[in-house]
Amino acid sequence: MLTNLRVLLIISGGIAAYKSLELIRGLRTGGAHVRPILTKGGAQFVTPLSVASLAHEKVHSDLFSLTDESEIGHIRLARETDLVVVAPATADILAKMANGIADDLATTVLLATDRPILAAPAMNSRMWEDASTQRNLAQLHADGVMTVGPAHGELAEGEVGIGRMAEPAEILAVIENALSGPLSGVRALVTSGPTHEPIDPVRYIANRSSGKQGHAIAGACARLGAAVTLVSGPSAEADPPGVATVHVETARDMLEACLDALPADVAICAAAVSDWRPAEAREKKIKKDKSGASSTPADLKLVENPDILATLSARENDRPRLVIGFAAETDDVVAYAQSKLATKGCDWILANDVSPETGTFGGDHNKVHLISAAAAGESGVEEWPYASKLDVAARLAERIAHALGESP
């Protein structure tokens, strides 16, 4: 599967570096060529000799090495590869990547490369959860860097928490799918979750969307090899592995993140975007006090939010080849979805029944109809069986691969 794939593997300084030796072995067994870069910190945990022996390649570490630069400079290292993998990726290297800092060979190559980058973060859970790391991660995702992990489990310090590097087998699976699945080479944009529209600093308008269906679709597309940007409103769902996830709050932020993610081959708008937002988000908490009549909820003025699906469908120069929307209805599901196809200008609508008795909102299952513009002699309506949201996502990803394969 990985035959002749050229991987530039950057090993930065964390205890998980020992697992990168196994990753090298797995990559080579799969047929890949591995060119290793070991940072100064990485060399504290694994020796250049063990890395070189397993990779059957010279280990690069020094930006200013005369011999290295004359034989193969940092620009060639950055270009002569199909994929850059950073494993383990410490908080420090993620921070540098997010800010364009290039102060050693590894970070200079990361700045200079135009190849896909996959990072496998590994660190103590407090460092992972720290606001600065999460900010850097959001930036990296917005820049299109893919990540896998970290996982929850026992950490080096004897604590239990999130921060363990993803296992080499999981990293290998993400790499394989990215390169050989039926959606490899395809850029997919997925929206998911609700949006939160602030009323004041403590209150907001939202809806019951859990993000389960959208996240499952992002994961399913990534498993088939797509480079996926998931733009997610507030959701309890974990970021899917191998997906660049951008976290947003409001519809307007979601639209901006979607436009930033263009160009894309396919856009799937699964988010339950709030149709309205308060005309102004008050800076101070609105008091219950009736005397201040202007601040009572009866006064809450709403304005319409931008329609992300319609906006993407109407793009002139960078409209995705396939734009897919959802129609969550409680009655006349198919009829409403058919008219929505026209009003939104998208190519397909997945119509689902969200009446309370179906348990779709927040649940794990979904019943959908796929509505497309009817071809001659066809109705354009396909009924899919009641299935888990994961199965619906997998089926949709296969259908997308098929459709894009037919219309290059």
CB 6 within 8 A of CB 35: yes
CB 361 within 8 A of CB 210: yes
Nearer to ligand C5P, 48 or 306 (CB): 306
Nearer to ligand C5P, 59 or 341 (CB): 341
| Sign of the torsion angle spanned by Cα atoms 370, 250, 261, 142 | negative
SS3 151: strand
Nearer to ligand C5P, 128 or 348 (CB): 348
Q: How far is the CB of 149 from ligand C5P (least distance, A)?
A: 29
Q: Residue 328 burial by CB count (10 A; 0-12/13-18/19+): exposed, middle or buried?
A: buried
CA dihedral 288, 293, 296, 301 (to 10 degrees): -160
Closest CA to 23 of 2, 39, 43: 2
| Calpha distance 304→288 (Å, rounded) | 26
| Calpha distance 18→21 (Å, rounded) | 6
Active-site pick, 136, 207, 317, 352: 207
Nearer to ligand C5P, 229 or 305 (CB): 305
Q: How far is the CB of 309 from ligand C5P (least distance, A)?
A: 4
**Which DSSP string do the residues of 265-331 spell out, in sequence order?**
SEEEE--B--SEEESS--SSPPP--TTSGGGSGGG--EEEPP-HHHHHHT-SSS--SEEEEEEEESS
Q: How far is the CB of 276 from ligand C5P (least distance, A)?
A: 9
- Binding residues (CB under 6 A) for ligand C5P: these are 191, 251, 269-271, 273, 275, 305, 307-309, 325-327
Tokens of 54: 């397993």
Nearer to ligand C5P, 24 or 269 (CB): 269
Q: How far is the CB of 328 from ligand C5P (least distance, A)?
A: 6
Is 207 known to be catalytic?
Answer: yes
Element (H, E) at 10: strand 6-11
Phi-psi region of 163 (alpha: psi -120 to 50; beta: other; left: phi over 0): left
Nearer to ligand C5P, 326 or 361 (CB): 326
Q: How far is the CB of 297 from ligand C5P (least distance, A)?
A: 23
Pairing verdict, β 266-269 and 322-329 = parallel
Nearer to ligand C5P, 186 or 271 (CB): 271
Q: How far is the CB of 264 from ligand C5P (least distance, A)?
A: 14
Q: How far is the CB of 269 from ligand C5P (least distance, A)?
A: 4
| Sign of the torsion angle spanned by Cα atoms 355, 356, 361, 366 | negative
Element (H, E) at 70: helix 66-71
Q: Partners of 371 in the beta sheet?
A: 349, 381
Element (H, E) at 22: helix 17-29
Return the active site residues: 207
